[in-house]
A and B are shown apart, each in its own frame.
Chain A
Amino acid sequence: MSEAVVSTRIRLARNLRDYPFPIRLPADKAREIADKVEEALKDCDIRFHRIDLDKVSDAIRVAMIERHLVSPDFISAKEGRAVFLSDDNTVSIMVNEEDHIRLQVIKDGFEPDEAYALADKVDNILSKKLNFAFHEQLGYLTQCPTNLGTGMRASVMLHLPALEISGAVYRIGANLSKLGLTMRGLYGESTKPDGAFFQLSNQVTLGISEKAAIDNLRNITTQLITQEMRAREPMMNDIEAQDKIHRALGLLKTARLMDHSEAMRLLSLVRLGVSSKLLETLSSDSIDKLIVEIQPASIMTRYGDTMTPRDRDIKRAEIIRERFE
């Protein structure tokens, strides 16, 4: 499984009964909610630190997206928005994004049950202090009716290079909605897949329990991985594919300028080579971490806000060379 599953995420949408939803929420009330969440989290044995969006730089805001800690939507406005992060960044709680609370757990590899158990635990702690909007028929009430019911989005990030090259992934993707699932690019809605990374998640949240939705996701993920592995076999015996993968590693080890999309494409090929035992170099896990580090804003938060795109391409090539040495 781990060859093709990068990470698993569970996200729960919750709203407070006594406040209007974010679209109708004045800034002072929004801050009040952030304070209430902070107070409620004090009962949790996980330690959280609070980041108010209006108090950090643009680079930090974007870097949080690149690490999948917040959504691109979240940083589009700043006032009254805050995020609570656990020390290990496994749990993040966005306050006043599309809903008052977006609780997210992200785990490496394919761990939907563990991720849900943790999300459920934090949700229970929050619900002791916060009065969540809940409707007997419609379940948890959310600003957008598409999240009603469980308010849960369970997703896995998949690396499917063989299915991407053959185009099969797009055919499969188009048929997933019939199964209540949806597949997108790496950074959520309407993003183009870079390096054959895809996010598979449940679309339906009303009328299907958390368990059933997770089981469904697990079944389809298993099937996709089986197909991916089957497609990889003939590919790995093909001299042209082997050549491509080895060249990719050669470029990563030696290049002096590396833009973001080239890096993603090459790292994807090398990841394929590693997980198919064609190459012996960094592990898939280390490549996954490297992919986050070489995202533009992540480079800027570490090496300076004033970097030009060219500076970043130089820095990116340097980070990658060092890592593959």
Chain B
Amino acid sequence: MLCQHCKQHEATTVVKTMINGKYEEHRLCPKCAHELGYDKMFPDFSADFGGLLSGFFSNALPAVSGATHCSSCGSTLNDIKRTGKVGCADCYDTFFDELLPTIRSVHGNTFHKGKHPGDIEYTVNDEKTGDTDKLTKLRDELKKAIADENFERAAQLRDEIKEAEG
């Protein structure tokens, strides 16, 4: 089958999306998949698809950190998987890429919002909403672009979202 994007090369990558309850599959060639960013992890992009993409990526990509155990506490990834408990704060850096899909499937998100330890004055009524609104708007546009199979626009929006998130 030919790539649905360039309609020139053989499609090798299947991207599954679930938008507003509508399930779709997009078949892409390696070049287009790369250009559109479907060959690497970018947390919030895939979070928009309710974890469907995250499952796809975690299968497609082997662990990248290469670490067998945490140098601070000695935990292995197997220890963490077996107990469901992380050994220490450093494990989150050591096994970041391996833990991220699980974190995403639990929370539907991988970026913290809210209090920081330095926020002594932070109260429940204070919240910066400006950036959040912009991000929400961009993400909505992104969903629409993908639904319309407008992949150029999707790639552009993805970059804007990344930038907005800082």
Residues of B contacting A205 in the complex (Cβ-Cβ under 8 angstroms)? 107
Residues of A contacting B113 in the complex (Cβ-Cβ under 8 angstroms)? 149-150, 207-209, 212
Take A24-B74, A117-B123, A205-B107 as given contacts and tell me if A145 and B114 are in contact as well, using a CB distance cutoff of 8 Å: no
Q: Are A24 and B108 in contact (CB under 8 A)?
A: no
Partner of A208, one of B83, B87, B114: B114
Q: Give the interface segment out of A45-53, A130-138, A316-324.
A: A130-138
Chain A stretch 11-40: residues in CB contact (< 8 A) with chain B: 15, 17, 19-21, 23-24
Take A116-B124, A206-B112, A207-B110 as given contacts and tell me if A23 and B83 are in contact as well, using a CB distance cutoff of 8 Å: yes
Take A146-B106, A206-B109 as given contacts and tell me if A133 and B115 are in contact as well, using a CB distance cutoff of 8 Å: no
Q: Size range of the interface on A?
A: 35 or more
Chain B stretch 65-87: residues in CB contact (< 8 A) with chain A: 72-75, 83-87
Residues of A contacting B88 in the complex (Cβ-Cβ under 8 angstroms)? 19-21, 24
Q: Are B111 and A145 in contact (CB under 8 A)?
A: no
User: Does A148 make an interface contact (CB < 8 A)?
Assistant: yes
Q: Are A127 and B117 in contact (CB under 8 A)?
A: yes
User: Does B164 make an interface contact (CB < 8 A)?
Assistant: no
Residues of A contacting B74 in the complex (Cβ-Cβ under 8 angstroms)? 24
Q: How far is the CA of A145 from the CA of B84 in the complex (A)?
A: 8
User: Does B89 make an interface contact (CB < 8 A)?
Assistant: yes
Q: Which residue of A lies closest to B91 (CB)?
A: A21
Report the minimal beta-carbon distance from A147 to chain B, rounded to whole angstroms.
10
Q: How far is the CA of A205 from the CA of B109 in the complex (A)?
A: 9
Take A20-B73, A144-B85, A204-B109 as given contacts and tell me if A150 and B115 are in contact as well, using a CB distance cutoff of 8 Å: yes
Q: Are B117 and A24 in contact (CB under 8 A)?
A: no
Residues of A contacting B112 in the complex (Cβ-Cβ under 8 angstroms)? 135-140, 148-150, 206-207
Q: Are B89 and A15 in contact (CB under 8 A)?
A: yes
Q: Which residue of B lies closest to A134 (CB)?
A: B117
Q: How far is the CA of A136 from the CA of B111 in the complex (A)?
A: 8
Chain A stretch 280-294: residues in CB contact (< 8 A) with chain B: none
Q: Are A144 and B86 in contact (CB under 8 A)?
A: yes
Q: Is the interface of B mostly helix, strand, loop or mixed?
A: loop
User: Does A113 make an interface contact (CB < 8 A)?
Assistant: yes
Partner of B87, one of A17, A21, A148: A21
User: Does A124 make an interface contact (CB < 8 A)?
Assistant: yes
Residues of B contacting A20 in the complex (Cβ-Cβ under 8 angstroms)? 72-73, 87-88
Residues of A contacting B126 in the complex (Cβ-Cβ under 8 angstroms)? 211
Chain A stretch 178-213: residues in CB contact (< 8 A) with chain B: 204-212
Report the minimal beta-carbon distance from A132 to chain B, rounded to whole angstroms.
5
Report the minimal beta-carbon distance from A149 to chain B, rounded to whole angstroms.
5
User: Does B146 make an interface contact (CB < 8 A)?
Assistant: no
Residues of B contacting A152 in the complex (Cβ-Cβ under 8 angstroms)? 114
Q: Which residue of A lies closest to B127 (CB)?
A: A211
Q: How far is the CA of A297 from the CA of B97 in the complex (A)?
A: 46
Q: Which residue of B lies closest to A214 (CB)?
A: B124
Q: Are A145 and B102 in contact (CB under 8 A)?
A: yes
Q: Are B87 and A145 in contact (CB under 8 A)?
A: no
Chain B stretch 25-47: residues in CB contact (< 8 A) with chain A: 47
Q: How far is the CA of A20 from the CA of B116 in the complex (A)?
A: 21
Q: Are A23 and B87 in contact (CB under 8 A)?
A: yes
Q: How far is the CA of A152 from the CA of B113 in the complex (A)?
A: 12
Q: Please name the 10 residue pairs, one residue from A and one from B, whose CB atoms are nearest each other, closest first.
A: A207-B109, A139-B112, A209-B114, A133-B89, A206-B107, A20-B88, A20-B73, A209-B113, A150-B114, A23-B85
Q: Known contacts A143-B86, A208-B114, A211-B124; can you find 16 more A-B pairs with CB under 8 A? A: A21-B86, A21-B89, A98-B85, A124-B120, A133-B89, A134-B116, A135-B89, A138-B92, A138-B103, A139-B112, A143-B85, A149-B113, A206-B103, A207-B108, A207-B109, A211-B125
